[in-house]
Amino acid sequence: MATKIVLVGAGSAQFGFGTLGDIFQSKTLYGSEIVLHDINPASLAVTEKTARDFLAAQDLPFSVSATTDRKSALQGAEFVIISIEVGDRFALWDQDWQIPQQYGIQQVYGENGGPGGLFHSLRIIPPILDICADVADICPDAWVFNYSNPMSRICTTVQRKFPELNFVGMCHEIASLERYLPEMLGTPFSNLQLRAAGLNHFSVLLEASYKDSGRDAYPDVRAKAPGYFERLPGYSDILAYTRQHGKLVETEGSTERDALGGKDSLYPWADRTLFKEVLEKFHHLPITGDSHFGEYIRWAYEVSDHRGILDFYTFYRNYLGHVEPRIELKLKERVVPIMEGMLTDAGYEEAAVNIPNRGFIKQLPAFIAVEVPAIVDKKGIHGIKVEMPAGIGGLLSNQIAVHDLTAEAVINGSRDLVIQALLVDSVNDKCRAIPELVDLMIARQSPWLDYLK
- pLDDT tens digits for range 310-338: 999 999 998 888 788 899 999 999 999 99
- pLDDT tens digits for range 199-213: 999 999 999 999 999
> What is the identity of the amino acid at 244?
Q
- Specify the DSSP class assigned to residue 190: G
d(CA 329, CA 313): 29
Q: Residue ranges of the alpha helices (H) in 232-334?
A: 235-245, 256-259, 273-282, 290-293, 300-303, 306-322
Q: Is 196 helix (H, G, I), strand (E, B) or coil?
A: strand
**pLDDT greater than 80 at residue 371:** yes
**122 or 245: which carries more pLDDT confidence?**
122
Other beta carbons within 10 Å of 266: 11
- pLDDT tens digits for range 175-188: 999 999 999 999 99
d(CA 10, CA 19): 9
C-alpha radius of gyration, the chain, whole number: 21
**Closest alpha carbon to 179 in 197, 192, 169, 163:** 192
**pLDDT greater than 70 at residue 248:** yes
C-alpha distances (whole Å) from 359 to each of 168, 303, 364, 367, 387 are 17, 33, 8, 10, 11
374: left (phi over 0), alpha (psi -120 to 50) or beta: beta
The pLDDT-based confidence of 252 (bands split at 50, 70, 90) is: low
- Considering 37, 120, 172, 382, which one is annotated as catalytic? 172
* Torsion sign across C-alpha atoms 347, 36, 167, 372: positive
- What pairs with residue 389 in β-bridges? none
The pLDDT-based confidence of 60 (bands split at 50, 70, 90) is: very high
- pLDDT tens digits for range 104-160: 999 999 999 999 999 999 999 999 999 999 999 999 999 999 999 999 999 999 999
pTM for this entry: 0.97
Specify whether 172 is catalytic: yes
- pLDDT tens digits for range 290-306: 999 999 999 999 999 99
